[in-house]
Amino acid sequence: MHRVFSGAQPSGELHIGNYLGAIRNWVALQADHECIYCIVDLHAVTQPYDTATLAPRTMDMAVGLLASGVDPSRAALFVQSHVPQHAELMWALNVVTPLGELERMTQFKEKAARQESVPAGLLNYPILQAADILLYKADRVPVGEDQLQHLELAREIARRWNARFGVETFPEPQPIVSRARRIMGLDGQAKMSKSLGNTIGVLDSPDDIWTKLRPAVTDPARKTRKDPGNPELCNIFTMHGALSSPEQVAHVDAQCRSAGWGCLDCKRLLADNMIAELASVRERAAELGARPAQVRQVLAAGAERCRGIAEATMGEVRDVMGLAKR
């Protein structure tokens, strides 16, 4: 059975972009893979953040993931900083990672350009991502297209490690590329992201979902109700593709191209389907939110299991590096 590793940022709010782009796939993978899912708080601290809210946001993300269908009886769910071997392996991988590879990462260049003083953690972020995966010798990693470059670097780091020490410590992880099209933010400008304020949260109420969806950007060709549109250029249509039945998607396509209906009609159908899909998620989240001790217990059990796997890998790593026995 393939072992899968994937991580989610502790952003607090799990939004519909995360849910449709990644988390529904996480839930599906549990059926026939050994899954290890991690809330990556050590990654989150490489950007400016609020120390007072990091822990609550981590817990909220755990609630969102469990409510969305991550099943602790089939997958390990834990918080990255609760398994200190992630940071330890990152240091070991530092010694085989070329600086030039880190400097050419697209995400590093974009994020560094927005900061006056660039912390080393931002540059080394992909080494920690490689450590996350290689610590568990995961051979499958679900990724969106924007993460393929980082996964390729993790594969390169595994190859370099194995070549440097003449051992096969790490398998090269293979991507499971999501076929879901990327969900843009409601402003239509950028990827859906909590920091950009262009999201719909999976725990939003039906009224909030409609309030946010109503003014969302659509195909600019539909200036008036009579102008035909191009559904393939519209983020609302992308979400229909993920949430509506094939018959409904075909109907949306035809109505859009013929100006048979207005964008509000189209959004109302999407809102109804989104509300129906998320009803059970909201219900489970309310139950879990009332039992934080149970959530902490799930995370503790996940971390304990993962520390066992991680320590076995680190034993091998310390040996091949020639470090003195403890």
Task: Give the binding site for ligand SF4 (CB under 6 A).
Answer: 218-219, 222, 229, 231, 234, 236-237, 252, 256, 263, 266-267
Angstrom CA distances, 93 to 8, 44, 204, 314, stand at 22, 20, 41, 12
Residue with smaller CB distance to ligand SF4, 268 or 282 = 268
Q: How far is the CB of 59 from ligand SF4 (least distance, A)?
A: 36
User: Across the strands, what pairs with 314?
Assistant: none
The residues that are catalytic are 111, 191, 194
Supply 161's token pair: 């490690």
Residue with smaller CB distance to ligand SF4, 86 or 222 = 222
DSSP string covering 138-155: --EEEE-GGGHHHHHHHH
Residue with smaller CB distance to ligand SF4, 223 or 326 = 223
Q: How far is the CB of 46 from ligand SF4 (least distance, A)?
A: 36
Residue with smaller CB distance to ligand SF4, 167 or 264 = 264
Which residues make Cβ contacts (< 8 Å) with residue 192, sequence separation at least 6?
A: 15, 16, 17, 18, 183, 184, 185, 186, 198, 199
Determine the length of the chain: 326
Distance CA 164, CA 97 (A): 11
Distance CA 237, CA 241 (A): 6
Q: How far is the CB of 270 from ligand SF4 (least distance, A)?
A: 8
Residue with smaller CB distance to ligand SF4, 4 or 186 = 186
Q: How far is the CB of 263 from ligand SF4 (least distance, A)?
A: 3
- Given its phi and psi angles, is residue 170 left (phi above 0), alpha (psi -120 to 50 degrees) or beta? beta
Q: How far is the CB of 213 from ligand SF4 (least distance, A)?
A: 10
Helix or strand or coil: residue 180?
Answer: coil
Residue with smaller CB distance to ligand SF4, 260 or 308 = 260
Count the Cβ atoms, other than its own, within 10 Å of residue 300.
Answer: 13
Question: Which single residue is written with the structure tokens 């609550």?
Answer: 56
314 within 8 A of 85, measured Cβ to Cβ:
yes
User: Across the strands, what pairs with 191?
Assistant: 184
